[in-house]
Structure formats: structure tokens, C-alpha cells
Structure 1
Amino acid sequence: MDGRAVAPAAGTVLNALATGVGSAFALDFDVEATVSLEPERESVSGDIADHADADTGLVERCVALATERYGDGEGGHVRTDGEIPLAAGLKSSSAAANATVLATLDALGVAEDVERIEAARLGVQAARDAGVTVTGAFDDATASMLGGLTLTDNREDDLVVRDEVDWHAAVWTPPERAYSADADVSRCERVAGLADHVADLAAAGDYGTAMTVNGLAFCAALDFPTDPAVAALPHATGVSLSGTGPSYVAVGDADGIQEVATLWNENPGTVRETTTQLTGARTT
């Protein structure tokens, strides 16, 4: 019983750490999950390509929850591989969870019978169980699972808005890493007033302004430099620290994003030019 699926990375419009309300959008590079189920096996094992020492508890929990709910509790093995750097603020955990849940449903033969938003909720529960998220990251999960841009209330796992956005994007990932579960929530809560304003802007469709205000606020709260965002502003529709960092994402038209990428390439780390993605997670 084998299944395979992919799920995209995502960038941040609104970080949910301050208020529980968050917004994210899918980016066009993926994590792939391959799941092999064995009915006679009770446990689940996992590995992450090129990261032999990485914690696989999240993806193993995704398989276990999916088989408990939609199968007969089968065990097996899950392997993930992809283009999204770990602990970089680009929603690698949400993408891995989405891909793993869908791959497990594919292996069970029920991938087309389960609503995508319910599959996302399953991955969010696995993330909470595995302790890799503070908010549940339903915003990140829905953006990756459904594609496009989503605005969610992570306190209720409620999808408030889904919209389709057509942007070019530049992504700068510095060499360091930052784990979401280690973020200073108390400092983030101090910018709750700004986060409420960002949520209002996003609900009104002013995504670029929302993203930029979020980026400046959370750079301050999480102690990341604002210089990369300020440098990008003349060329971008919006720019933000993505998640809890360290990556920054700028969106806009092709020419503007090329300018941002050129500027960001002067920094250490890696710069990727890509686009938004509207399809979301899918079996392959």
C-alpha cells in the first residue's frame, strides 16, 4: 500500500503568534512525501532525505493519525524530500505534514474522498501532538494545502478567507535557522495591536500593506534586522519576515522582484525567485 504526494512552501502575510489570527500564501516549491503502509505493522518510522538526524516525529504522527481515522491503524514508513529548507520560516513543517497526510490517504485509496481542509486539520493536530508549533499553524497549513492565500483563526482552526494571488516572489534564506517552537511568544504578543491592524488590512484585500506592516513588527518582536525589508520596499508590493524567520519574502511584479533578488544576493545565504502557487497539495 503505497502513496505519494507533494505540498508547497508558503510565505507569511500575518504571523499568528500575537493574536492567533494568521495569514499565509503558497509558494511554488515543494516537499514530497512517500508513504508505504503495512497492515501487519503497528509502528511508523520515518526519514528525511539529506537530514539523517532530523526529527521525524511530525510525519510519523501524520501517518498514524491518518490511518487511525481513515484506515485500520496500519503502520509503515514515510520518507520526505524536497526543496524547502528546514527551520527557515517557509512552512516546511506544514508542507511536510500536508504531503504526508495526503500520501497516506493515497496509500489507503481515499485521497479523493477526504476534503482537503480536513486533511489540513489532521496535519495541524499532528503538529500539535509533535510539539513543533505554538499556534497550530492552521494558516500555514491551509495555504500549503489549498494553494493561494488564506486568512485563518488558528484558535478555532477556522478558515476565514481564501483568495487567489498572482505574484512573483523573492525568498532570501540566511544561513542560520530558527525553530517556530522556540519563538518568544511573549514578545510577539506585545505587537498584538499591530497584528489586529494587519488582519483588518488582509481581510480588506490589502495584502501587500498587511505583509509589510507584519514584517516590520515581527522583525522587531523577534529581533531580526529590518534592513532586508526596507531595501526591498521600493521594488515590492509587500515584504515580510516569513514565519519566525530567518527567511524574508518579497512579492510583486517580475521586474521588481528581480531587483529585490539582486539586492538580497549581496547577503550570505540563498536567494530564490519563484511565484505564488494556486493548486496546493496534491497526490502524484
Structure 2
Amino acid sequence: MDGRARAPGAGTVLNALATGRGSAFAIEAYTTASVSLDTELEVVTGEIAGAPDADTALIERCVELVVERFGDGEGGAVRTESDVPMAAGLKSSSAAANATVLATLDALGVADEDPTLVETGAIDRADACRIGVQAARDVGVTVTGAFDDASASMLGGVTVTDNTEDDLLAREERDWDVLVYTPDEQAFTADADVDRCERIAATADLVAEHALEGDFARAMTVNGFAFSAALEFPTEPMIEALPHAEGVSLSGTGPSVVAVGERTELEAVEAIWQERPGTTRLTTTQIEGATIQ
């Protein structure tokens, strides 16, 4: 009983730590999960390619929750491989969870013949996404539940959500080029200073208004300055991007910064950001979402 799926990472429009409302957009960077199930096994074991000491509790819990709902007590193994850097603010956990959930559904035969959907009447992709969100809460890798990040990764495009209720408030598609700058350090979401973020709730409400009106570029720029201040990240990369980008923000709880706009303009920013320690990636938005392979 084998399954395989992949899910994209994402960048931030609105960080949900302040108010519970968040927004994110999928990007062309992927995590792939392979799941093997066996009725003779009682436990689920996980492996993350290239990171033998990494915590595998999230992907193991994703398999367990899907099996509890659709399986018959199967155990097995899950392995993920990714070009989404971990603890960089690019939604690596959400991508891993989504890919694992879909791969497990595929292994159990729940998936439809259309590899972009899980539509047999048993579950749709939004509900599949919520399984991963619950797994993330169960193992403590998220503060808000990260339904904003997870929904963007699962559904593609740009999503706006209420993470307190796991409600999808809006989804739209944007054809942006995307530039990502990732410093060398890591920043784990579970370690973020929530109290400091809650102090900028009024600004987050303004960002949510812009996002719900479809003005995502302006929303992410306001978000970026506000949360960079709250989480004590430098704003200089954002200032460097502003003359060229349509929008720019700290992504998640950092340390990555994402800029969106036209490729030729972002190439000018890329040349500047490449002078900084770390890595840059020029990519695009992704509207397809997570898929069974």
C-alpha cells in the first residue's frame, strides 16, 4: 500500500500570530512525501531526507490521523524530501504535512483518479489540509494552527483564513514572480514571541482588510514592516526591494524575506540581496496546490 504526493511551500501576506487571521501564497518550491502502509505493522516511522536528526513527529502524526479516519489500523513508514528549507519561514512544515496526508490517502486508495484532487465524497482538499493542521497542533510545531500556510500550500494561489476556526475566507490566483532571500540562521515558529506580535493586532487588522480586498501586495508590505519590528528582524532587505517589488514581507516568523512583482524588477533586487550572507531564489507563484504523484 504505497502512496506519493508533493506540496509547495509558501510565502506570507499576513502573519496570523497577532489576531488569528492570516494569509499566504504558494510558491514553486516543493516537499515530496512517500508513504508505505502495511496491516502487519503497528507503528509509523518517519524519515526526512538529508536530515537524519530532524524531528519526524509531524509527518508520523499525519499518517496516523489519516489511518485513524480512513484506514484499518495500518502502520508503516513515511519519508519526505524537500527543496523548501526548514525553519526559514517558507512553510516547510505545512508542505510536509500536506504532502504526507495526500500520500497516505493515496496509499489507502481514497484518492480520486484526478491527481490534483481527493474527491470521492469522503474528503476534499480543504478537509485534507485540516488533517495536517491538526497533526501540527498535536505535535506542537505551530502556535496558530497555520491553516493560512497550509491552505495556500494545499490549494495553491493566495488564501486568507481565520485560523481560530480553520475557516477559508478567500482564495485568489496571482501570477507573480517571487524572489526569496533566506539568511543562514533558522527561526522556529514555536519559539516566536506571541506577546510581542499581539501588540500589533491593530496593524494586523489593517493588513487583513487589504488582503480581503485583494490588495495582497500592499498587505504583505505593511505586514513585513510590522512583524519584522515585533520579531526583531532587520527591515533593510525590505527597503532594498521596495523600489522594484510590488510587495515585500518577512515570511512567517522569519528569517526569510519574500518579494513579488515582475521578473526584470526582481532581478535587480536579486543582485542586491546576493551580496548578503545566505541564499536567494527566484521563482514564481503556484496555483495548482498539492498533488498526488
Q: TM-score, normalised by structure 1?
A: 0.99
| Residues 1:142 and 2:151 aligned together | yes
Give how far 1:254 is off.
1.1
Residue matched to 1:268: 277
Give how far 1:73 is off.
2.2
1:90-239 paired onto structure 2 within 5 Å: 90-112=90-112, 113=120, 114-239=123-248
Which residue, out of 232, 245, 249, partners 1:240?
249
Q: Give ranges in structure 1 of 5+ residues lacking alignment.
A: none
Give how far 1:42 is off.
1.3
Residue matched to 1:81: 81
Residue matched to 2:292: 283
Residue matched to 2:12: 12
* 3-state DSSP of counterpart to 2:240: helix
> In structure 1, what is the Cα distance between the partners aligned to 2:155 and 2:128?
10
* 3-state DSSP of counterpart to 2:16: coil
Choose 255-264 or 125-134, whichever is displaced more: 255-264
Runs of 4+ in 1 over 4 A off after TM superposition: none
Residue matched to 1:259: 268
* 3-state DSSP of counterpart to 2:242: helix
**Count of residue correspondences:** 284
> In structure 1, what is the Cα distance between the partners aligned to 2:15 and 2:98?
19
Once the two structures are superposed, residues 193-219 of structure 1 have per-residue CA deviations (whole angstroms, 9 ceiling, x without a partner) of: 000000000011111110000000000
> In structure 2, what is the Cα distance between the partners aligned to 1:123 and 1:40?
25
> In structure 1, what is the Cα distance between the partners aligned to 2:193 and 2:60?
27
1:56 is matched by which residue type in structure 2? T
Residue matched to 1:45: 45
1:218 is matched by which residue type in structure 2? F
Once the two structures are superposed, residues 64-110 of structure 1 have per-residue CA deviations (whole angstroms, 9 ceiling, x without a partner) of: 00011011121100000010000000000000000000000000011
Report percent identity of matched pairs.
66
After superposition, the CA RMSD in angstroms is 0.5
1:277 is matched by which residue type in structure 2? Q
